[in-house]
Amino acid sequence: MDLLEHQGKELFRRHGLAVSEGAVANNVEEAVAAGRQLGYPVVVKAQVLTGGRGKAGGVKLAGNEQELRDHAARILGLEIRGHRVKKLWIERASEIASEYYAAVLLDRSARAPLVMFSSEGGVEIEEVARRHPEKLARRHINYLAGLGEEEAVQIARAGQAAEDVIDGVAKALCSLYEVFCEEDATLAEINPLIVTPEREVRALDAKVTLDDNARFRHPDHEAYANLDLIDPLERRAKEEGVQYVQLDGDIGILGNGAGLVMSTLDVVAQAGGRPANFLDAGGGANAEKIRQATELILSNPAVKAVLFNIFGGITRCDEVAKGLIEAFSALNPTLPFVVRLDGTNAEEGRRLLAEANLPGVHPASGMEEAAKLVVALAGGQEVKG
Ligand code: GDP
Ligand code: MN
């Protein structure tokens, strides 16, 4: 579960990490009330479940009430990377002497938490890693021993923090590590972690992902669910009992079983395509579920071509074919579909599809062939057959 900036900052504050005073606002009037209470200048910040808000115009400084009104009204109308802004965070503006970067994340391959710190912050960390690798400290932490002050100081030094704030940075890293462990996060990132002219170290942004598997341990986290902000398609999928994750490409993907869907994403990417979604119809999906799933894929306007990759086990390919045929008669899609059916009742499924002779449906026999075909079709290429 991803948190909004202000929710992440609330957790930071609880664990002793310095953050600025602020308030949530759902409309311009609430923003103005917050401004009056905080005192100017303030920063008006879009609360959306995506980064890069600054570049998209979702973070603005306001020196007085009129500016606050203007910014709040404009930002509330924005769409940032597909996320409509419905909520603002108004925060007392900080003066910035330096922008650093700090993060704790779960490094699954190392099976350990990874602490990262750099004195080059405020830009994307991938860019820091490329341009200033010498200023990026990375250190795995022994989960049982935890992160001690001494080790945190070493990390701050390695990332080249200014000498007079080494202790402040180390303390911030320890607090961030505490957030990561005690709140069961998989990611806790601060970019930028600033140094003020008074040499105070403070988190100006917060990106926190909580581990859903640990939710039962944190009844207080329920309040962070952000149901109103979750992608409406993802929410609908949840209601219908299929696994759906929106991605930003243009090839709609449907498979049965998470493993098969993931490898389908890989094969499509290898063929040069960009998946638009992850959709797992699950084991034993019947025609009705396949029809719903197809509808779900087609309601994403970015989709240019669709790939069905079914390996029938409990799921029967004839049911999948029936679902697809039903979806076609209900929705009359004009997009090309590539359909690979294999496993239980595959013959029967293929026969049903051949008989139905649906417009724009291309059978494929293997996964790679299917991927290449759908990538070509999404790119608008003519395909015979
Ligand atoms: P992001 O673009 O989504 O990562 O949003 P951030 O919260 O990181 O804000 C983007 C940028 O706005 C930061 O890197 C800062 O440079 C700037 N910014 C945010 N808050 C303040 C503030 O209180 N004072 C000043 N001077 N700049 C700020
Ligand atoms: Mn940021």
Residue 325's CATH number: 3.40.50.261
Ligand nearest to the CA of 103: 2
Rounded Cα distance, 81 and 284, in Å: 35
The residue whose CA is least distant from atom 11 of ligand 1 is 54
Name the residue at shortest CA distance from atom 4 of ligand 1: 52
Q: Do 248 and 355 fall into the same domain? A: yes
Cross-strand pairs, 254: 308
- Assess whether the C-beta atom of 205 lies below 6 angstroms from ligand 1: yes
CB of 183 within 8 A of CB of 210?
yes
127 found inside a domain: yes
Task: Give residue 288's pLDDT.
Answer: 86
Residue 361 half-sphere exposure toward CB, CA atoms < 13 A: 21
Do residue 188 and residue 238 come from a single domain?
no
In a domain, 180, yes or no: yes
Shared domain for 374 and 338, answered yes or no, is yes
* Predicted pLDDT of residue 383: 65
What's the 190 CA to ligand 2 centre distance in angstroms?
7
* Residue 98 contacts residue 194 (beta carbons within 8 Å): yes
For 108, residues 6+ apart whose C-beta sits below 8 A from its C-beta are: none
Q: Is 163 in the same domain as 128?
A: yes
Q: How far is the CA of 5 from the centre of ligand 1 (A)?
A: 12
- What are the residue ranges of helices labelled H in the chain? 5-14, 28-38, 65-76, 125-131, 149-158, 166-182, 232-240, 258-270, 287-298, 317-331, 346-356, 367-378
Per the document, the length of the chain is 385
Does some domain include residue 14?
Answer: no
Ligand 1: which residue has its CA nearest to atom 9?
54
Q: Does ligand 1 lie within 6 Å of residue 51's CB atom?
A: yes
Q: Are residues 286 and 164 in the same domain?
A: no
DSSP output for 171-218: HHHHHHHHHHHHTTEEEEEEEEEEE-TT--EEES--EEEE-GGGGGG-
Taking the centre of ligand 1 as the mean of its atom positions, its distance from the CA of residue 151, in whole angstroms, is: 28
Whether 204 is in the pocket of ligand 1, judged by its Cβ within 6 Å, is yes
Boundary-marking domain end, from 92, 127, 154: 92
Q: Establish whether residue 59 lines the binding site of ligand 1, counting it when its CB lies within 6 angstroms of any ligand atom.
A: yes
Q: Write the CATH number for 160.
A: 3.30.470.20
320/281 Cα distance (integer angstroms): 10
Tell me if 192 CB under 6 Å of ligand 1: yes
So what's the pLDDT on residue 241? 75
* 368 CB neighbour count, 10 Å cutoff: 14
CA 256 to centroid of ligand 2, rounded, Å: 37
Which atom of ligand 1 sits closest to the CA of residue 205?
7
Calpha distance 376→365 (Å, rounded):
16
Same domain, 283 and 188: no
The verdict on the CB of residue 63 being under 6 Å from ligand 1 is no
Q: Is 107 found in the same domain as 27?
A: no
Q: Which residues pair with 232 in a beta bridge?
A: none
Look at residues 206, 224, 242 and tell me which one is the last residue of a structural domain: 224
Buried-state track 244-278, b at ≥16 Cβ within 10 A, e below 16: bebbebbbbbbbbbeebbeebbebbeebebbbbbb
Q: Are residues 201 and 185 in the same domain?
A: yes
Among the bound ligands, the one closest to the CA of 93: 1
Distance CA 215, CA 230 (A): 18
User: Would residue 13 count as lying in a domain?
Assistant: no
My answer on whether 364 and 292 are in the same domain is: yes
Domain shared by 139 and 68, yes or no: no
CATH number of residue 31's parent domain? 3.30.1490.20
Ligand 1 binding pocket includes 96 (Cβ within 6 Å): yes
Range of the domain at 123: 98-224
Average confidence (pLDDT) per 10 residues, the chain, 385 residues: 96 98 98 98 96 95 98 95 91 98 96 97 91 96 96 98 98 98 98 98 98 92 84 76 88 94 96 95 85 90 95 92 92 94 94 95 93 94 62
Whether residue 307 is found in the same domain as residue 363:
yes
What is the pTM for the complete model shown? 0.72
Is residue 259 in a domain?
yes
Number of independent structural domains in the chain:
3
Task: Flag whether 15 is in a domain.
Answer: no
Centre of ligand 2 from the C-alpha of residue 149, in Å: 25
Task: Please give the Cα distance from 189 to 329 (Å, whole number).
Answer: 48
Residues 168 and 238 in one domain: no
Of the listed ligands, the closest to the CA of 58 is 1
- Catalytic annotation, residues: 101, 189
Residue located via tokens 């062939």: 369
Tell me if 42 sits within 8 A of 65, measured CB to CB.
Answer: no
